[in-house]
């Protein structure tokens, strides 16, 4: 069974990767693409699968791309940590593009309230 993180990354690169690169690649998805591209190159695997994901996303085999990414991450635990961190940012960016809500909390608290579009009165 494929790692869900790896499948999500491969799918996002295939569906939104070219958009991320066209807009300058400054967001988390663009940084994720560049990180993986550099790792593919340095590992000697080549970037053909990754390039295909951005060049012709309808024709790319996402499962095959996910398997390649998974092998790179299995060989390098540091890469997995970096991919996870960039993926959190990329997932947030993708949710914002589709009008989604991003509620994130980091730290320690007794109570946390996160909301969007509260109608009417709210008392806390």
**Domain ranges within the chain, ordered by starting residue:** 4-97
pLDDT at 1: 44
Per-residue pLDDT 10s for the chain (124 aa) are 458 888 888 888 887 765 655 555 567 888 888 899 899 888 887 777 777 777 776 777 788 888 889 999 999 989 999 999 988 888 777 766 655 566 667 778 888 877 767 788 877 7
* Cβ 51 vs Cβ 87: under 8 Å: no
Q: What is the pTM of this model?
A: 0.67
pLDDT at 81: 92
User: φ and ψ at 89, to 5 degrees?
Assistant: -65, -40
pLDDT at 19: 65
């Amino acid at each position: 069974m494929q790692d869900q993180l790896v499948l999500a990354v491969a799918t996002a690169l295939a569906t939104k990767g070219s958009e991320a690169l066209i807009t300058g690649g400054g967001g988390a998805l663009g940084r994720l693409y560049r990180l993986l591209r550099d790792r593919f190159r340095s590992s000697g695997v080549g970037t053909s699968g990754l390039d295909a994901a951005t060049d012709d996303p309808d024709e790319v085999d996402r499962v095959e791309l996910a398997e390649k990414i998974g092998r790179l991450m299995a060989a390098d635990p540091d890469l997995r940590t970096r991919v996870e961190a960039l993926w959190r940012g990329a997932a947030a960016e993708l949710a914002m593009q589709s009008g989604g809500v991003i509620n994130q909390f980091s730290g320690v608290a007794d109570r946390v309230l996160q909301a969007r579009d509260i109608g009417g009165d709210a008392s806390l």
